[in-house]
Amino acid sequence: MNVTPDKIGAMGCDEIDIIDVKIDDLMLRDILLQQEGYYPGYHMNKGNWITIVLDGTVVFDEVCRMIDASYEITASAKKKQKFRQPKEWIIPANPKYYDIEHAFDNTDEIDWKQGAGIIKGDTVFMYVGSPVSAILYKCKVTEVDIPCDYEDKNLKITALMKIKLQKRYKPDKFTFDRLKSEYGIYAVRGPRGIPNSLSAALK
């Protein structure tokens, strides 16, 4: 935002660019306020907000670090989720309701029920239920939050995601018995993270 210097207690007449960031370390806040370019928060709680003048006095990399730190303090868990690093998941697929074994016969990308917490860029390993009972596919999530309104006695879907096939596995490779005995996975009822040892084996 642009303000006149007197608004933040600085000298000068011409408007200056500033940004407010939140800081939860009071000792660091006091140290920063003794340095050029930092001022008590403008129009914010001065106890835990500071104002940075964007005139080059504070180097760009430092401004970016302060913005990132402020985001970590203030952003909601849901908002942070959208910007986290990609994750790997196991997701269930019930062959009683969908012919998942032939889903990728004529295409490498399909729509699938979006699981809670899954975002674009994540990797999903599709575990196909009985009688297959094994991981068959590795897919990349290419799109999320596709509106959907479907419900029957067995299934309710409010959002879809697009997943793109990256790798196939033989049905006898990552069976449920192996997942249980070697990797401690005793059930796949919904999207779940995977241990590092299984992630390495699935590469």
Which tokens in the block code for residue 169? Answer: 């596995």
What whole-number distance in Å separates Cα of residue 117 and Cα of residue 78?
9
30-34, 77-81, 143-147, 151-155: which range is least confident on average? Answer: 77-81
Domains parsed from the chain with CATH numbers: 2-74 (3.90.1150.30), 88-202 (3.10.590.10)
* Model pLDDT, residue 21: 93
What whole-number distance in Å separates Cα of residue 88 and Cα of residue 26?
37
Sign of CA dihedral 34, 38, 60, 84: positive
pTM of the model: 0.62
* Model pLDDT, residue 76: 66
> What are 10-39's pLDDT values in tens digits?
888 889 999 999 988 888 888 889 999 999
Residue 80 has pLDDT above 60, yes or no: no
Residue 178 has pLDDT above 90, yes or no: yes
What whole-number distance in Å separates Cα of residue 89 and Cα of residue 113?
14
- Yes or no: say if 149 and 166 are a contact pair by the CB < 8 Å rule: no
What does the DSSP 8-state code read for residue 115? P
**β-strand 16-22 against 38-40: which pairing, if any?**
unpaired
> What are 83-141's pLDDT values in tens digits?
678 899 999 999 988 899 899 999 999 999 998 889 999 999 999 999 999 999 999 99
